[in-house]
Structure 1
Amino acid sequence: MKAQLHKLPISSDASFLFKTLECDYFANPWHFHKEYELVLIDKSKGTRFIGDHVSHFTEGDLCLIGSNIPHLFRNNEEYYAKNSKLKARSVFIHFRKDFLGNHFFDTPEMKLANKFLENPSLAVDIRGKTKKYIINKLYAMNDEKPPQRLLSLLEILVRLSLSTELKPLLSPGFSANTSGDSDKINHVFQFIMRNYTEEIYVQEIASKLNMSVPSFSRYFKHHTRKTFSDYVTEIRIGHACRMLTEDNYSISEISFQSGFDNLSNFYRHFKKVVGVIPKEYKNRFLKPTT
């Protein structure tokens, strides 16, 4: 059971899709499409699964996902509550490499952009001045006529191809497995997101899928290139990082609410995943300088 192929509704009178989407929560399953996807999270928080990468997302996050790279954006559980008044909003562009013709990116002037787009493991988090530039472009595109939008997209791609402010999201050599449907792996992701703050037993999810533990472990690693345990740990650490930004909780509270059974275990895993201890993370990245 693999990622679903989505055929995107690009209009016959446009060469790419530009759209602002507002909804109660992001609802697409684990899926892929031939089009590249540039996506700005304008509103909402949650967890993003892109290839073998998993991390939390929040307002202002901007990333580019390459052609045929499977992905899923899932909002936090409070967005799915019956009486929730929360909203999710994104601004995105879907485009194919040939949106300007089959040979446009073969021209000498587009050599760097062509090399950038040809990367089979293309999935990057966009940061710094490049991020600010592209976000301003995306907002401006709302009011632009089609010819202006076309030029804006080209300017964005040129800026990306020259930027040093891109963080690769996929493991080196990642190869997408993109045939079949996604029901089973989506069920696994949903189970993790509902239960990661509690103790999770691999036997339970394997049983739900009518699989033995060894078979499930092989299946999960085949799709994510990580063990089930490591994957759940990364989700928990991502949740802890989000709680650290809110500045309302003690380290012990964060440890417990992120699903860790003791503080030393939390510190060990946090240092392994993030590279620093929680307090240092908070001081280094979240405290304003004076």
Structure 2
Amino acid sequence: MLSRNMDQKFISGIILLHLLVITSFYESRARELVETENKILDQTEHKNHAHNHNHNHNHMDPSVMVFFTLKDLKVGKRMQINFPKRDPSTSPKFWPREKTDSLPFSLNKLQTLLKIFSFSQDSPQAKAMVDTLKECESKPIKGEVKFCATSLESMLDFTQNILGSTNDLKVYATSHLTKSSVTFQNYTIQENTVKISATKMVACHTMPYPYAVFYCHSQESENKIFRVSLVGDNGDKVEAMVVCHMDTSHWGNGHVSFQVLGIMPGSSNVCHFFPADNFIWISKLEGHGVSVM
């Protein structure tokens, strides 16, 4: 049997090949901070994670326009969707575990962290770090297991523990088939929507931080996974990953999806599109696609 380290290297190779979001682990910290400063600001402005702050429904932030319900998943359906454009070459990079484990990752160590990264107390970067650390330290909802991965190794460990496999992981991500600077527009669902069969999944969402941090979580309640073909009004083509949460009864009343959709907790399923730099992990032993359109 291959060793655990060999398994992790094999899986990381797959990510490098297919998603093109993980580059060299060993770039210097100074270069990382220079390259990621604008990225942190961009993620702060466009952050669309499920636990975002509340938004006024009459002045909806385009960055939260990623939610819909399962009944809308049909050919010809046209909806406004935000797909943030992020350049992998300037995105925060994964640092090796021994490097991130040597640094504190806690809100009560904020002052130490700000000194390490040379951020002022009132800077946008400091605010982004505070938001991420608060999110990572928040309690999970009922039936949820959550973890903030600060390295590829820790992400794989968490995912393998949830899915119960070692080298049988499969990862999905949204793919942009055309290049465009447009982030928010109307998209129309095309044919060939595919349902991905999996009894368990782990979703990992990027978080604003000087190096790559992913909020990874899994829920006991039923989820449905789809790969959806979309065409934008300007001709953009996207193969988008979608997760539909079938039970929202344990979500808080302030969940941004309820404001976007005008629904209440537990009254409906909630689906959402994934940005291109977010991952969906399943076991290869059960994952397969079935066309539903």
TM-score of the pair, normalised by structure 1: 0.27
TM-score of the pair, normalised by structure 2: 0.27
Larger radius of gyration: 1
**Which of the pair is proportionally richer in strand?**
2
**Which of the pair is proportionally richer in helix?**
1
Structure number with higher relative contact order (C-alpha < 8 Å, ≥ 6 residues apart): 2
